[in-house]
Structure 1
Amino acid sequence: MSTNGRKPKRLVADRRYPKSPGPKAAGKGQAKPAPKRKPARKPARKPARQRRGPIGLITALVRWILRLVWRVTLSATVVVALIIGAAVWYVHSTLPEASAQVDGRARGSVTLLDRRGEVFALRGDQFGGVVTADSVSPHLKNAVVATEDRRFYRHFGVSPRGIAGAIRINLSEGRSALSGHGGSTITQQTAKLLCLGTVFDPEEWDSEADYIADCRRSSLARKAKEAIYAMAMEAKYSKNEILSIYLNRAYMGGGAYGAEAAAQRYFSKPAAALNPAEAAMIAGLLTAPTRLAPTSNLKRSQDRAATVLRLMHEQGYLSEAEMTRYQNQPATLSEAAGGLKGGYFADWVMQSGPEFFTRDTTEDVVIATTFDPRLQAATAAAVDKVFSEKVREGSEAEVAVVVMTADGAVRAMVGGRDTDATGLFNRASQAVRQTGSAFKPFVYATALELGHSPLDTVVDEPFCMNIPGSGQWCPENYTRNYKGRVTLTDALKHSLNIPAVKVSESVGRDLVMRVARDFGIVRDLHDTPAMALGTSEATLIEMTGAYAGILNGGSSVTPYGLRELRLRGDNDALMGAGGGIGERVIRPGAAAQLTWMMEKVVSEGSGRRARLGERPAAGKTGTSQEARDAWFVGFTADYVAGVWMGYDDNTPLTGVTGGGLPAEIWGEVMTRVHEGLPVRPLPMEAPARPVAAPEPRQQAPQPAPQVDDRGRERVREGVLQQVLRDILGGN
């Protein structure tokens, strides 16, 4: 191929972009740069060919259903949110100010003071005063949050995470979702304490207990209402206000409502002064206040407090060193809290006092009582000693003891083997038992009032009576032996049954009944010849009060424990003593002679095991039918005491009579009670001359003609006067 002699051109690609003009080419006549080419447009993607057939139809249907579910769910969520919002707004509008929510007690408190003015028992709902989350010890605030609701300051009243965790735990432990752990926040617990704003109405609930049970019940509907109320509280109150309401309303055991009452109850200090160990103990009570109260079981309460201290450390409220320190040095009860005693006595005062100021009071009441802590401790120690040394192990025999002065002021009371219990059956004031031979002093008191002498005689011999409607009745002595002619003193001293029946029938059973009633045996007395042997019933406190009437010279006595009742903060008393010495029953001379006879029971007769050494004492044993009850009641110049032993189910005692263990317990009690007291003589009078006692006819006993007419007329006149007072309503 010819090239015409020219050199061939280089084969190069065309310049894609024009060469940038140099500085010289910027002048006039410079060629315009070629316009930039637009990048080629990508062809549009062709729409995918629609799937046809069953798979396409199913896919479309699923997409439609999902869109529908999403729309319905979104709509339902909006509707539910609007409903909840409206409910929260409504509840919010009904909530009072936080300051009005702090004291939620349905009852007031009752503080009982001993004879020296010191607190010895608390009853009712104790409230120490209003505290706030800022005024209490920060350790208590931290302990409550760490234990009850660690996310308290971060949630809006309800904790979904807490609820989910609680449901998981409940189901894993085999319970229903709502049983056991509740996952409730402090706000929800406060809502429950407020009973969702429902106030106790006695016309709607049978009792306060039913009201509280209704407030505490768990159901899905109740939980929903609780959540709404909690959210309304979060909107109305600050977090500290909610925590303040909780710290004031929560029950913390021992009758204490609120942190201040609990701090004073257990540690005798204000809630602002609690250290971490004390704060942890109080916070630990919130899960089970009655069971974990340190007054019920200190060790269990300390163990729970150790767990609370660990939680406080885990959440940064305490260092590890602080946690270890307070776990090794747990909180203990203050001396005043540990010294609260006299449970049976306090219960008796609460039962015997006016109901509207004791059991059902809505006010805070202070009651000054006759209680003597020293005598109570002595009585309890004596009972414990005798039972530990003299009663066989496993025995379920019970005991009751009452100590009082001659005017009926009760100083100590034990109502059972658990010598300082609270809220249990009180055998000293509630057990109505057959008195047995402890009734016989009233038979002889009637004879002495009618002019008989302790040295008058009566024949102890086999004896029978024809009782209309019942036939022949033949009483026997306990020993089934007979002593022949004996003085009234010997008959009482050896607790002989035949002479007691003869004297009772001779002086007049109606007069014996009247004397016994006037001395305080207020139960129905059996109007039969067997009444003289103590077939009627009485409580121990009634019997002890009746014997106090003998000691004080023959005047009736109403046992009492309440000296003065007033409202807290008031100086004026609303009421005074609830008992004391009443009307005269027998002459002082007759009472002094009866005391002389009863002294022989202790020094020479069936009550020798109750002797107090050089200190004179008088008393009487008593054993009921089939030995179901054993009594010893007696007195010194200073105190009167009664002891009862028996089984709650009336099982007969084995080898126990009134002159046995009851007399020993009485002697041990009175020995301790009189420690440090000078020996004083009994107010007794020895008889001047012996006079033959009347003898009733066996078949139809009649009052003997030898009875002092003046004495009989005096008693008859008293009966007539009382009948007239009952009819006419006089005083």
Structure 2
Amino acid sequence: MSRRGDRLQNKGARGSRRAAVERAGKPAPKPKSGGGGGKRPSRFRQWLKRGVIGAAGLAVLSVIFLVIAVAMAARTIPSYSTLKANQPGQTIVVRARDGREIVELGPSFGDWLDYDEIPETMKNAMVAVEDKRFHSHLGVDPVRLTGAIVEGLTGSRARLGGTSTITQQLARNLFLNNNRTFDRKAREAVLAMALEWKFSKEEILELYLNKVYFGGGAYGIDSASRKFFSHPATELTVGEAAIIAGLVKAPSRYSPTADVQAAVDRAKVVLRLMREQGYISADQAMVDVGAVQLKEQAGQNSVRYFTDWVLPQLDIILPETFEPIEVWTTIDIGMQRAATAAIEANTPGGAQGALVSLDRDGAILALVGGTDYVASNFNRATTAMRQPGSSWKLFVYLAALEAGYTPEDLVVDTPVTIDGWKPRNSNGRNIGETDVRTAFAFSINTVAAQLGNEVGFGTVASMAKRFGITSQISTFPSMVLGSSEVRLIEMTRAFAAISAKGVGVEPYGIAKVTTAGGELLYQHKEPRDRPLVADYVVAGMTDLLQAAVQTGTGRAAQIGRPVAGKTGTTSSNKDGWFIGFSSGVTTGVWMGRDDARAVPGLQGGRAPAQAFAAFMRYAVKDRPVEEFDTTVELPEWQLEPDEEAMFGEPDDYYYIDEQGNLVEPGRREPTPSPFDVESERPRDAPAAASRDFLEEATGGTLPQGQRDPRRPQAPPPVQVVRPQQDE
């Protein structure tokens, strides 16, 4: 039989057997996958199988690599006794401009407490708030880590705690910095597991509680306890332990010396977590944290406002270093004391005051951020955003002067409406026609509004930006009266640029930084001069500012030598400003309430101007008297061509209108011009030569009809035209 017949016979036999099986009620067997008639596995399953095997292999390799990395890191970690002896923190000595030490900042350490000496309450409070699975994980908390990954993918912020365990925080404090990079976090995790490999949980917690930073220079729980509660950590109560444990997350924000209520609220969170995790009873969790007796803080010099502002800049200007350093600042100790006294003596009751004083190069000579640093360390000189009132008119008039106005130009104080806005003067009256100098000196609002509208509110905003205002500025019409909030240091910087003859000024507080051994780490460099406006604009603005102090709203700022400045008062007396300069020193003063409520009687020309004068008398006492340059020399593009200029005394000048009519000084009616408009020569002027001379020179006789040029004739009639009145 042929092969084809054999195949058909075999196929028929297989069909018969399958039919027999089906008749017997059993399912037919499936063909094997390797048979000629079987179905091959799909490509997707093959790749899936390979992927699972590859992932498993990669995971095994990763675990092996991690174990090796942890083991190697554990070998490099110093011994427990070495870690115990090494104290963290960096000592910083801050010096004044004359080299005298202002303050020394750095770590303070209490007694080292062994694990058994640390109160159980303190240990439990720290574990409850910082790492509730501390006793069970291997240095890294998988639950927290997973939550952080999900959070990063979804953008959620549901978790209340951070991702770092107590062991990770210890690793960071001992070996790393606070940079939030993936590389640093990976090293932190490896070191944390290495610490768990090498030390016990008790040793890790002992190291942590004796080395963690609690704010105010206090490292370790014993130092914190002595700083905040005036007793050693072995005597901590439940409420006190909750306060200390709550500080780790943000020492400056929750410090009881800075914000008692914030510290109390954070401690209540710690107590709740301790109760939820079974460390304390419900009755213990109800302890009145607000009743905890805090250590009374001795009064601190207001220079701390300055150091709080300037020291964070070290992170920007210095490379990472942990060795002791000395920061040489621009502060003048005598001026700082005078500024503090001026603010304390002149600030109205219930209000706050701030002062910034700059040298001509931008160096900060004095900085006061409030009336009492201990009561409130909020820096109102560099941080507070307040409306500047009429001191903002500096930029309005700068724009007007740049556009061609001069201090002598006439303006009109009259009621105006701009896009529905109706500015009014503080006295409710209008004086009519006046000059620019008077309008600025007496801070006439309607004139400032008209000038701002004429030059453009965007132009005023641009001028403010040009002079160093970095805060957001609106371009609504009311902006000309100071409706945009700014910082005191910004406004002082702008006025300092006028004192510096139009050159931009950048405030700075650090002159140089050295190591304790004298090695120079940083030196301030003078920026390149940046002229902001032309000389004639600076001269005109100085003229206006000087007039405001001599005869205007800033008379209380007079100190017996030339002073230029401007007052500022916001609606309902919520803010009072005075900013001015003399002998190269520019000083800005602000007063008001933190809650922006009205302060009865507060005006820029009163308490702020008086504080300015009290400080400036001391600040410039050793400096030579400097007269201001107020000579306005307009550029050529603003001057008329002088080919036809008339010379003589100013009272002899005449004005010739377009029709050739003479307008005498002080007269509105024109008189006939003595000039022939077409020939451009006087009608009655004598002849240049006599008739006899001309005949002799020409060798002939002049025609009889030729008149003697020396003999005047009656001028033709001239049409008298009345000049147009100004609208």
**TM-score, length-scaled by structure 1:** 0.53
| Contact in 1 for aligned 2:346/2:608 (Cα 8 Å) | no
Cα distance in 1, alignment partners of residues 141 and 511 from structure 2: 33
| Residue identity in the other structure for 2:467 | F
| Residue identity in the other structure for 1:179 | T
Name the structure 1 match of 2:337.
377
User: Secondary structure of the equivalent of 2:567?
Assistant: strand
Name the structure 2 match of 1:96.
79
Which structure has the higher relative contact order (CA within 8 Å, separation 6+)?
A: 1
Name the structure 2 match of 1:461.
414
**Map of 1:272-671 to 2, 5 A cutoff?**
342-355=303-316, 357=318, 364-387=324-347, 391-392=348-349, 395=350, 397-419=351-373, 424-465=377-418, 467=419, 472-566=420-514, 569=517, 571-574=519-522, 576-577=524-525, 582-612=529-559, 614-671=560-617
RMSD: 5.2
User: Secondary structure of the equivalent of 2:566?
Assistant: strand
Cα distance in 2, alignment partners of residues 606 and 383 from structure 1: 20
| Contact in 2 for aligned 1:408/1:581 (Cα 8 Å) | no
| Residue identity in the other structure for 2:93 | T
Cα distance in 2, alignment partners of residues 112 and 199 from structure 1: 39
**Map of 1:230-269 to 2, 5 A cutoff?**
249=211, 254-255=216-217, 257=219
Name the structure 2 match of 1:684.
629
| Residue identity in the other structure for 1:621 | T
The superposition leaves residues 131-164 of structure 1 with CA deviations (integer Å, 9 ceiling, x where unpaired) of xxxxxxxxx9xxx59xx7xxx9xxxx747xx9xx
Cα distance in 2, alignment partners of residues 357 and 444 from structure 1: 41
The superposition leaves residues 253-293 of structure 1 with CA deviations (integer Å, 9 ceiling, x where unpaired) of 8515599x99xxx9xxxxxxxxxxxxxx99799979999xx
Cα distance in 2, alignment partners of residues 678 and 232 from structure 1: 62
The superposition leaves residues 445-504 of structure 1 with CA deviations (integer Å, 9 ceiling, x where unpaired) of 223234432111101111123x2xxxx222111111111111111011000011112222
User: Secondary structure of the equivalent of 2:505?
Assistant: strand
Q: Compared with structure 1, are the counterparts of its residues 584 and 94 closer, same or farther at alpha carbon in structure 2 (3 Å cutoff)?
A: closer
Cα distance in 2, alignment partners of residues 555 and 473 from structure 1: 35
Cα distance in 1, alignment partners of residues 340 and 80 from structure 2: 50
Question: Is residue 115 from structure 1 mapped to residue 97 from structure 2 by the alignment?
Answer: yes
| Residue identity in the other structure for 1:380 | T
Cα distance in 1, alignment partners of residues 235 and 99 from structure 2: 32
The superposition leaves residues 225-255 of structure 1 with CA deviations (integer Å, 9 ceiling, x where unpaired) of 9xx959879xxxxxxxx9xx99995879851
Name the structure 2 match of 1:45.
none
Q: Compared with structure 1, are the counterparts of its residues 482 and 256 closer, same or farther at alpha carbon in structure 2 (3 Å cutoff)?
A: same
Q: Compared with structure 1, are the counterparts of its residues 632 and 231 closer, same or farther at alpha carbon in structure 2 (3 Å cutoff)?
A: closer
Cα distance in 2, alignment partners of residues 368 and 415 from structure 1: 20
| Residue identity in the other structure for 1:530 | S
Q: CA deviation at 1:346?
A: 0.9
**Identical residues among aligned pairs (%):** 29
| Contact in 2 for aligned 1:119/1:340 (Cα 8 Å) | no
| Contact in 2 for aligned 1:493/1:605 (Cα 8 Å) | yes
Q: CA deviation at 1:534?
A: 1.5
Name the structure 2 match of 1:313.
none
Cα distance in 1, alignment partners of residues 141 and 333 from structure 2: 38
| Contact in 2 for aligned 1:629/1:645 (Cα 8 Å) | yes
Q: CA deviation at 1:348?
A: 1.1
| Contact in 1 for aligned 2:212/2:219 (Cα 8 Å) | yes
Q: Compared with structure 1, are the counterparts of its residues 475 and 200 closer, same or farther at alpha carbon in structure 2 (3 Å cutoff)?
A: farther
Cα distance in 1, alignment partners of residues 587 and 355 from structure 2: 7
Cα distance in 1, alignment partners of residues 592 and 304 from structure 2: 21
Structure 1 consecutive aligned stretches of length 4 or more whose deviation exceeds 6 Å: 91-95, 196-207, 209-213, 230-233, 245-248, 250-253, 281-291, 337-340, 706-710
Cα distance in 2, alignment partners of residues 339 and 434 from structure 1: 29
Q: CA deviation at 1:563?
A: 2.0
Cα distance in 1, alignment partners of residues 481 and 460 from structure 2: 12
The superposition leaves residues 537-579 of structure 1 with CA deviations (integer Å, 9 ceiling, x where unpaired) of 21000000000000000111121112224555561324535x7
Which of 107, 122, 135 is matched with 1:126 structurally? Answer: 107
| Contact in 2 for aligned 1:595/1:683 (Cα 8 Å) | yes
Cα distance in 1, alignment partners of residues 553 and 507 from structure 2: 27
Q: Compared with structure 1, are the counterparts of its residues 628 and 413 closer, same or farther at alpha carbon in structure 2 (3 Å cutoff)?
A: same
**Map of 1:109-188 to 2, 5 A cutoff?**
109-123=91-105, 125-126=106-107, 158=116, 178-179=120-121
Name the structure 2 match of 1:714.
none
Q: CA deviation at 1:665?
A: 1.6
Cα distance in 2, alignment partners of residues 436 and 627 from structure 1: 10
| Residue identity in the other structure for 1:440 | K
User: Secondary structure of the equivalent of 1:343?
Assistant: helix
User: Secondary structure of the equivalent of 1:657?
Assistant: coil
Cα distance in 2, alignment partners of residues 617 and 203 from structure 1: 63
User: Secondary structure of the equivalent of 2:459?
Assistant: helix
User: Secondary structure of the equivalent of 1:544?
Assistant: helix
User: Secondary structure of the equivalent of 2:357?
Assistant: strand
Cα distance in 2, alignment partners of residues 213 and 371 from structure 1: 42
Cα distance in 2, alignment partners of residues 200 and 112 from structure 1: 41
Cα distance in 1, alignment partners of residues 446 and 412 from structure 2: 8
Cα distance in 2, alignment partners of residues 203 and 103 from structure 1: 30
Cα distance in 2, alignment partners of residues 283 and 375 from structure 1: 40
Name the structure 2 match of 1:58.
none
Q: Compared with structure 1, are the counterparts of its residues 102 and 536 closer, same or farther at alpha carbon in structure 2 (3 Å cutoff)?
A: same
User: Secondary structure of the equivalent of 1:584?
Assistant: coil
Q: CA deviation at 1:428?
A: 0.8
Name the structure 1 match of 2:172.
none
User: Secondary structure of the equivalent of 1:431?
Assistant: coil
| Residue identity in the other structure for 2:626 | P
Unaligned runs of at least 5 residues, structure 1? 1-90, 129-139, 167-177, 185-195, 218-224, 234-241, 267-280, 298-332, 690-705, 711-731
Unaligned runs of at least 5 residues, structure 2? 1-73, 127-136, 149-156, 170-195, 245-255, 258-296, 642-727
User: Secondary structure of the equivalent of 2:530?
Assistant: strand
| Contact in 1 for aligned 2:536/2:632 (Cα 8 Å) | no
User: Secondary structure of the equivalent of 2:398?
Assistant: helix
**TM-score, length-scaled by structure 2:** 0.54
The superposition leaves residues 148-202 of structure 1 with CA deviations (integer Å, 9 ceiling, x where unpaired) of 7xxx9xxxx747xx9xxx7xxxxxxxxxxx43799x9xxxxxxxxxxx9979999
| Contact in 1 for aligned 2:356/2:492 (Cα 8 Å) | yes
Cα distance in 1, alignment partners of residues 355 and 371 from structure 2: 10
Q: CA deviation at 1:99?
A: 2.8
